Amino acid sequence: MIRIGICDDDSRARDALRWELERLLEEEQEQIIYDFSSGTGVVQWLQKHPGQMDVLFLDVEMEPCTGLEAARQIRQFNESLMIVFVTGFADFVFEGYQVRALDYLLKPVEETRLETVLSSARKALAQSEEDYLCIRNAEGIYRIRRNEILYCYSDRRKVSVVLQGREIQFYDKLDAMAQRLGDGFVRIHQRYLVRAGAVDYIGTDTVRIQDHSLPISRSMRQTAARKLAKAMLEGEAK
């Protein structure tokens, strides 16, 4: 699956790029394309829907929030989104590197260049797939970096993934999450699964992750403490 955003204040330009993308992506098993008409709009959407977009085609010449300004704002909370600038001016290209853009396209967009950009995006997604966890709930599909997860906890039939300043909730079992996340995550309680690298403190009956204090169950205390201590010591040695 590849999830793409198009942001351009010119509806004709948005439609033209969307048509080209849908034609080139017609063999993809799944694809999602989002449309935005302003830089402010796409920034706000990304803040509310973290992990739900892979590539953003971003027009440079927009008012009042330019594409470059929107990209700078996005980079403050999202380092992984692949940004492709779309511009009518070749001399803008160098400014794109300031926000770690994947590539750029000159208007009118050429099919061969668009194919090259899509190929680069697919390769980057494939290389980083092991670093991500995909979660689906009623709001959509989230693609989350594993090293951004602080911990997971279960509540009845739901699991919540806790990240910096936000949570994502979905239907699943914590046992299944532990299997999906694998090494680097430690079960400390029937209801809690923590990322070892996020733990700041290990006590006799609690662990601390930032300002979260989580209980360690008596039955898991010895095994959990050993795994967490090992992870912390290995982190110091690196």
User: Do 72 and 172 share a domain, yes or no?
Assistant: no
Q: Of 145, 141, 136, 127, which Cα lies nearest the Cα of 184?
A: 145
Domain that includes residue 20, residue range: 2-131
What total of structural domains would you count in the chain?
2
Single pTM value for the model: 0.63
Tens digits of per-residue pLDDT, 61-78?
999 999 999 999 999 988
The residues near 178 (Cβ < 8 Å, ≥ 6 apart) are 185, 187, 193
CATH number at residue 59: 3.40.50.2300
User: Do 48 and 90 share a domain, yes or no?
Assistant: yes
Mean pLDDT in order along the chain per 10 residues (238 residues):
91 93 76 91 92 91 92 90 88 67 90 92 76 84 86 94 91 93 90 93 90 93 85 57
Q: Say if CB 77 and CB 98 are below 8 A apart.
A: no
Backbone angles phi, psi at 71, to 5 degrees: -65, -40
Backbone angles phi, psi at 129, to 5 degrees: -60, -35
User: Do 169 and 108 share a domain, yes or no?
Assistant: no
Does residue 156 lie within any of the structural domains?
Answer: yes
Q: What is the pLDDT of residue 17?
A: 94
Q: What is the pLDDT of residue 158?
A: 94
Does residue 142 lie within any of the structural domains?
Answer: no
Q: How far apart are the first and last CA of the chain?
A: 35
User: Do 127 and 154 share a domain, yes or no?
Assistant: no
User: Do 125 and 154 share a domain, yes or no?
Assistant: no
Does residue 207 lie within any of the structural domains?
Answer: yes
- Using DSSP bridges, classify how beta strands 158-163 and 151-155 pair: parallel, antiparallel or unpaired: antiparallel
User: Do 91 and 119 share a domain, yes or no?
Assistant: yes
CA–CA separation, 21 vs 56, rounded Å? Answer: 12
Q: What is the pLDDT of residue 236?
A: 43
Q: What is the pLDDT of residue 206?
A: 92
User: Do 54 and 84 share a domain, yes or no?
Assistant: yes
Q: Say if CB 131 and CB 195 are below 8 A apart.
A: no
Q: What is the pLDDT of residue 214?
A: 95
